[in-house]
Amino acid sequence: MNKYFAPSELIINEDGSIFHLHVKPEQLADKVILVGDPGRVPTVASHFDTQECDISSREFRTITGTYKGKRITVVSTGIGCDNIDIVMNELDALANIDFNSRREKEKLRSLELVRIGTCGGLQPYTPVGTFICSVKSVGFDGLLNFYEGRNAVCDLPLERALLNHLGWSGNLCAPAPYVIDAHPELIERIAADDMVRGITVACGGFFGPQGRQLRIPLADPRQNEKIESFSYNGLQITNFEMESSALAGLARLMGHKATTCCMVIANRVAGEADPSYKNKIDDLIQLVIDRI
Ligand code: R1P
Ligand code: URA
């Protein structure tokens, strides 16, 4: 018999919904769009033809509906890879654990997950407004190290090449970056021929971990210069954001398909930013819901 998950491990609310998201198993579609900002959830759902639920809990807002006959769930994750650990584990539990018996289901569901986010561009060819699809994600966050299969799903040669290129040791190496591929079929379909494909670095913060120095000095002031000059088998690091590595890594371990598409709202090489991006991200949303 499949493993039993105790109430302390899989926390189910009194109404039968999962602890943080407050979503019930029957409310989850197979196609899932993840966004950081809860305010982006109704923007995505404004494209839907029908809507069956709209649930808010903390920074997690979830709407399930249909778009041109496709059932899609859009959920906000808030900021950071720690929230991706919560959202991915709870989505996977909704899909693959029977909430009555608290055991893994016999027939497992594979979800298709696309994150629509914002990011900082790191190359001259990724100016503000560029759409970037993550072919690989580098996790500066350490989250995947807590899961057993980490080495089996990570690109270990690229990890070594990047660490070597950065020349990091000591505190900056703990935890060492992990590198994970997005799902190849999903990249082809979502990025098509009009998005830049690159390596995304997911950082454990917006300022220091992304090489932004305000009043306090950075441990490696040359970090961004080194990241921008890194190249591996023809791929360059194109952008910084904060969730794609945890999403791609957990999706691989759980048997789901995932990738991340971001709109560049700040180009770090040019020193430019667009704080009024919210009315422009709808073009990226339209591409993703047509292709998911
Ligand atoms: C930081 O401003 C936030 O923006 C990016 C980062 O990954 C981080 O979550 O993504 P979202 O616009 O999806 O939140
Ligand atoms: N999100 C990030 O994480 N970094 C940026 O520079 C812009 C958006």
Calculate how far, in angstroms, residue 61's C-alpha sits from the geometric centre of ligand 1.
15
Query: pLDDT at position 172, please?
Result: 84
The predicted structure's pLDDT at residue 169? 87
Torsion sign across C-alpha atoms 95, 99, 100, 102: positive
Residue-wise pLDDT for 236-283, tens only, equals 999 999 999 999 999 999 999 999 999 999 999 999 999 999 888 999
pLDDT value, residue 36: 98
Q: Identity (one letter) of the amino acid at 229? A: S
Q: Residue ranges of the domains in the chain?
A: 25-291
CB contact at 8 A, 121 and 267: yes
Report the nearest atom of ligand 2 relative to the CA of 120: 6
As given in the structure block, the two tokens for residue 79 are 């900021």
* Whether the Cβ atoms of residue 40 and residue 76 lie closer than 8 Å to each other: yes
Substitution site in 123, 240, 274 for ligand 2 pocket (most atoms within 8 Å of beta carbon): 240
Neighbours of 246 (CB within 10 A): 28
Question: d(Cα 202, Cα 274) in Å, to the nearest integer?
Answer: 20
Residue 155 CA, ligand 1 centroid: distance in Å: 24
- The architecture that CATH gives domain 25-291 is 3-Layer(aba) Sandwich (3.40)
| Cβ atoms 150, 144 nearer than 8 A | yes
pLDDT at 52: 98
Q: What angle do CA 102, 105, 108 make, to 5 degrees?
A: 140
Pocket-testing residue among 34, 44, 79, 141, ligand 1, by greatest number of atoms within 8 A of Cβ: 79
H-helix segments, the chain: 40-45, 81-96, 150-153, 156-166, 184-191, 223-229, 244-254, 282-291
Length of the chain: 292
Q: 250 and 85 in contact (C-beta within 8 Å)?
A: yes
Residue 156 burial (CB count, 10 A): 12
Tell me how many helices (H) and strands (E) the chain has.
Answer: 8, 14
* Interstrand relation of 272-273 and 257-267 (parallel, antiparallel or unpaired): antiparallel
Q: How far apart are CA 22 and CA 107, in angstroms?
A: 24
ipTM of the prediction: 0.98
Name the nearest CA neighbour of 262 among 153, 144, 129.
Answer: 129
The pLDDT of residue 50 is 98
Separation of alpha carbons 273 and 271, rounded Å: 7
How far is residue 285's CA from residue 292's CA, in Å, rounded to a whole number? Answer: 10
User: Would you state the pLDDT for residue 176?
Assistant: 82
pLDDT computed for residue 186 by the predictor: 97
Paired tokens of 252: 């691989």
- Helices 81-96 and 244-254 cross at an angle (nearest 10°) of 30
246, two tokens: 């945890």
What pLDDT is recorded for position 170? 84
Task: List, for residues 13-41, the tens digit of each pLDDT value.
Answer: 999 999 999 999 999 999 999 999 999 99
Pocket of ligand 1 (CB under 6 A): 35-37, 79, 117-118, 206, 241-243
**In whole angstroms, how far apart are CA 14 and each of 11, 63, 72, 173?**
10, 21, 25, 43
**Mean pLDDT for back-to-back runs of 10 residues, the chain (292 residues):** 92 97 98 98 98 98 98 98 96 97 97 98 98 97 91 96 93 86 97 98 94 92 97 96 98 98 97 92 98 98
Is there a contact between 198 and 125 (Cβ–Cβ < 8 Å)?
Answer: no
Q: How far does residue 3's CA lie from ligand 1's centre (Å)?
A: 36
pLDDT at 279: 84
Residue of 82, 113, 242, 285 to test ligand 1 pocket, by largest number of atoms within 8 Å of CB: 242
